Structure 1
């Protein structure tokens, strides 16, 4: 498998695409506004405490107050995997932990989404190349993506040896195959960084930002550019030089894999990424077998429906269903990762009667999800045969970043039919004549609505004129949206009979 990271640096946005065998599997977009907040550390002030929600709102200087749940406000108890924390907080009440006006150090763990402000935690994490430092914990853990048991044991031993007292360490996926010397520089840097942040805690105004995470390009080098990535390609010469400097510090052996894209050509078009992004925004995704999946999002959850589509299989219906569902399971895992869909996810696979087939599809889904760096949990199958799962929500989904609600349908994906608009136009004509002494009017509407108002051979329009006893001119205009209706008075003497 050939893995590539493609970085497109523009004036108004930076885009990072992750390709696996030429297939787009992850896309990240960063713009000057809104500013990326995840990873930033703030000295904030408790704005309000809500015992009924077991949460508090923290003023961090953002336009919306941050949300702090009680489980993120009490001391950490036990870590089990990277970004996976057990919390023993049920014995706490939020008003016993925090009070209004109290100063507190928090880190953003979820971007503001929609009307909700950012979510924060007091459980600070500082990621490096090989390690994540947990300043307020005392634990060592290994990334769940390192599956080799002997390697996990080796890395756990190294982490235990170098871990300072009263801090926690998590060994990252990029550390696989490394030895103790590879960790020392990383650890020293993170310890110095935390000491610098601590020194800023009690000096300066509140609220204020004490630490900002790296920008998208450098986060990509730190978090994505590992030994299994064959190429890191970037189209900005200045940023290319800075990437080389960073790689030289954290992983010199990867320097030869960093390339500058010098062609006078759109980088994403050259690697056929633009068309793949368009596909990632589509509601319907076709499978290679001829089936397809439909992805619908609501505010609370995402629903995915699987259909056989054009695929008719062989002579065995169960085999056709199984093959479609297995291919759909793999595609769904890829789409969740690509679109960065988080929260509750419900999957409606095609009905399977064989329990063995159900297990095969579940296994295919779980295996495909192992490639996802974001934590996912497959809960299981409901009584209605639906697959229920969750995926950690950190940032806005791709569609929210690239799309806005349609000004005509307000994001519903539906508009009134021409018949409905024609009916509304008739009501507006009646209302116009009731408040006006006009003898003639012009009604300007979309052509599809105009044809309905006129009727076959103008019969409908003649009937409308007879009802009101006035002259009505219906004009179709392609410049108008389907639901637009414009009525104005005209001089009856100017009409040509």
Structure 2
């Protein structure tokens, strides 16, 4: 059972998604927050670096954004030249360029940007100029994939590109059409603003927390939605009624005296899960160290000494870690390259079981997570898409 708990305190909105009463996702919107990823800017090229095949673009942030040549060439591989041209043939200093942020500024690095635009809707992702249709890999039935692709192909026009999101499974062509019309209106507004805007300026900002919840988080399997603020409750119901009236009825105003996050144990669990050292049920623990290049997760037996053999002790600890790590990736929104140093196992069957456990667990993640397998040193390589 999935539950969504929305707590409103002092102009801050917090949202927690529970699966089987276990915290798996968390998001918050503070009054001073400004989300960058997903937003579209009219920028100005500051300088071009031929040796890096990249350019720095001023989009109005403290640090200039980074634009690589692959993000300037056409998104469709069939339209790309066989040999990449020099970046100087595509961009010149002072040139205006419309770009979308794909990675927020982090540490000493500026934002990563692209000209391959994508605007997510309820059922679709709209990609102007992409020229192809794709279906989420998480939709497993071949017949449903073919139906959705055929529907999208009949709806898209010209060089439009569409991705059928996982939640589009079972949706009618009419529902997809309405979603596409909304997304076309958004893109038309982006082009209109960009035509008259001065560079640098933001011409489109991705949705705030409540619309994102309605679009991305609240699906048919979210059976309970509790909100402790009447205005926010009405706003969320209104957003859901536009596309999923049956889900709007699940939004309930909670007027209990005890804070929602305290009653559901979210505050305590959030604090525990965000520490560098996270304990496992048996007494083992994880150490999580994010760096600019990648995130390293180390698995340790800790206080757990087992009862039969060292191999069984190690195997049980690793199994618990394999179930817990995918949850922490979602909750902490860890992304990019992730390396897990499991405790060494002697039996190949144990390594296979650990990998199977993680493979099943990452299927619940809305962000694309790929398990690349074991290295020669026994490390597990993972990549998780930035969102």
CA distance in 2, matches of 1:296, 1:44: 34
> Are residues 232 and 89 of structure 1, via their aligned partners in 2, closer, same or farther at CA, if it must alter by over 3 Å?
farther
1:226-273 CA deviation, whole Å, 9 max, x = no partner?
Answer: 111112222221121121111111111111111112223322112110
Q: How does 1:299-310 map to 2 (within 5 A)?
A: 299-310=292-303
SS in structure 2 of the partner of residue 186 of structure 1: helix
Residues 30 and 216, structure 1, Cα contact 8 Å, conserved in 2: yes
TM-score, structure 2 length as denominator?
0.94
Larger radius of gyration: 1
Contact (CA 8 Å) 1:44, 1:207: kept in 2 or not? yes
For 1:40, the equivalent position in structure 2 comes to 39
1:70 aligns with 2:63: no
Distance 2:164 2:99 in 1: 23
Per-residue displacement from partner, 1:134-172 (whole Å, max 9, x unpaired)? Answer: 111111111222223322222112112212221011111
1:244 aligns with 2:237: yes
Residue-by-residue CA offset, 1:95-153 (whole Å, 9 max, x unaligned): 22111111111111111112222211111111111111111111111122222332222
Post-superposition offset of 1:330? 1.1
Q: Does 1:146 align with 2:145?
A: no
Q: Which has the higher contact order (CA 8 A, sep 6+)?
A: 2
Return structure 1 stretches of 4+ with deviation > 3 angstroms. 86-90
Gaps of 5+ in 2: none
Structure-1 separation of matches of 2:305 and 2:288 = 22
Q: Does 1:261 align with 2:248?
A: no
Could you tell me which runs of 5 or more consecutive residues in structure 1 were left unpaired when the two chains were aligned.
Answer: 80-85, 395-497
Taking the aligned partners of 1:13 and 1:74, their CA distance within structure 2 comes to 40
Displacement of 1:78? 4.5
Q: For residues 390-429 of structure 1, what are the structure 2 equivalents within 5 Å?
A: 390-394=383-387
**Deviation string for 1:312-345 (max 9, x for gaps)?**
3342432332222122111111111111112222
Matches within 5 A, 1:287-298: 287-298=280-291
**Aligned mates of 1:233, 1:52 — CA distance in 2:** 54
TM-score using structure 1 length: 0.74
Cα distance in 2, alignment partners of residues 92 and 65 from structure 1: 23
Task: Report 1:119-134 matches (<5 A).
Answer: 119-134=112-127
Partner of 1:23 in structure 2? Answer: 22
Describe the SS at the equivalent of 1:364: helix
**CA–CA distance in structure 2, aligned partners of residues 78 and 261 of structure 1:** 51
How far does the alpha carbon of each residue in 1:360-419 deviate from its partner, in whole angstroms, 9 at most, with x for none? 21222222111111222222222221112222334xxxxxxxxxxxxxxxxxxxxxxxxx
The answer to whether the 8 A contact 1:59-1:207 is kept is yes
Task: Report the Cα offset of residue 89 of structure 1.
Answer: 8.1
Structure 1 counterpart of 2:314, from 311, 321, 342:
321
Cα separation, 1, equivalents of 2:158 and 2:380 = 44
CA RMSD of superposed structures (Å): 2.0
Match of 2:381 in 1: 388
